[in-house]
Amino acid sequence: MTSYDPPLGDPSVAGDRPLAGLKVIDFTRILSGPYATMLIADLGAEVIKVERPGAGDETRGWGPPFWRGTSTYFAAVNRGKRSVAVDIGRPEGRELVSDLIDTADVLVENFRPGVTERLGISYTEVRRRNPRLIYASINGFGSYGPRAQEAGTEVIVEAQSGLMAMMGVPDGPPVRFGVAMVDIATGLSLVNGVLAALHARSRTGCGRMLEFPLYATAISVLATVIASACVSPESQEGRFGSGHPSIVPYSAFEGRDGWVVLGAVNEAMWSRLCEALELDALAADVRCATNEARVQNRALVENAVAAAVRGCSVDEVTKRLGERGVLVAPVKTAAEAVQDPQVAVLDLLDEDDGVKFARTPLAQFNSKTLSRAPELGEHTVDVLGSIGVSDERLTSLLDAGVLESSLHASSLDSAGIAVDLAQHANT
């Protein structure tokens, strides 16, 4: 076995998908919910994405860039799903959706609190017909309390929670995360909650309601900051750029031909860092003798390290520090990162028609590549036919615009009569 060989697993379960046979009805849009349900698809569940005729998930239009008629944003987080386009603002559509939910194991939605009650798909309503259903809800600020009805998108929650106040450089404006990490973290929490609820259902036979506010996620990920601020509020104030409020040095520094991030998390590493960068005077300075002292003298340390790095290439700094066991890495763009041979070794990407898609962390359970994100209504006829809706009724509903199918010509007329629910949604 070479260092490039994956660890050997049990061949009897290789490619086994633990959620195979389970059905998930996905009413989510944008990012947190779609990312969560894509993870669930990688675990083997059938994920049926319910969308609005004529428009579908708003992110289908979030471009450029576009690929195969849809935005790359949508294509990246909706793989492995089936799309059913149904107007749930109309009685016929609600009836079809109710029948579909009756066959499901899990329902995931991210409407603003109160919308599911108006649509007849609230947990109180659906559990009467399907008591085994796991019902997972994502919203901005929770379903009760003074902020329940406020719009709670990623950027709003970052601002309200304290996350954004930490982001940016000293004396600069607050900035949002480059990737919607609160959405991603909420999606991961939802998957954990659904798996736990499914495990409990295997013992009790009963489903349950789960709620995942983005605001709760944001407060949760601030655990170390909140605790530290209770003891020393001033230690957590301000913005540290790429730095760390409790470790110095631990930041990005500019070299001759790019940027490099480096850090010393203990005294032995600090000594080796000073040796590598020829900072003998700094190593002997009592003001830098401990991490606590370096935090108190942040500017002294960071200015000295910055001056040492500035005259070196990124490769030189990376080599000198790396050879001495100091934390160091070049700062890469995403386009550069995917060229790293480790990406190929770990099989972190799929490629479809020249476009690279990041695999989910749960792809290790799935021996197959997830199918590409569906066209709007691509599976409307197949999915509804599988629960007993006749061909005649499907044709009638397609012609009336209650349904849309990318494979049914008459469904093209549905675009003008869909009920726009986007104003009720928050994320």
* Cβ atoms of residues 247 and 265 within 8 Å: yes
Neighbours of 300 (CB within 10 A): 16
Distances in Å between the Cα of 75 and the Cα atoms of 59, 71, 371, 374, 407 are: 9, 6, 10, 8, 19
Contacts of 426 (CB under 8 A, 6+ apart): 110, 111, 112, 139, 140, 150, 151, 152, 153
User: Could you say which of 57, 87, 105, 183 is catalytic?
Assistant: 183
* Cβ atoms of residues 319 and 267 within 8 Å: no
The span from the CA of 260 to the CA of 253, in Å, is 5
- Decide if 42 is catalytic: no
Neighbours of 344 (CB within 10 A): 12
Q: How many CA atoms lie within 13 A of 207 on its CB side?
A: 21
Amino acid residing at 38: M
The catalytic residues are: 183
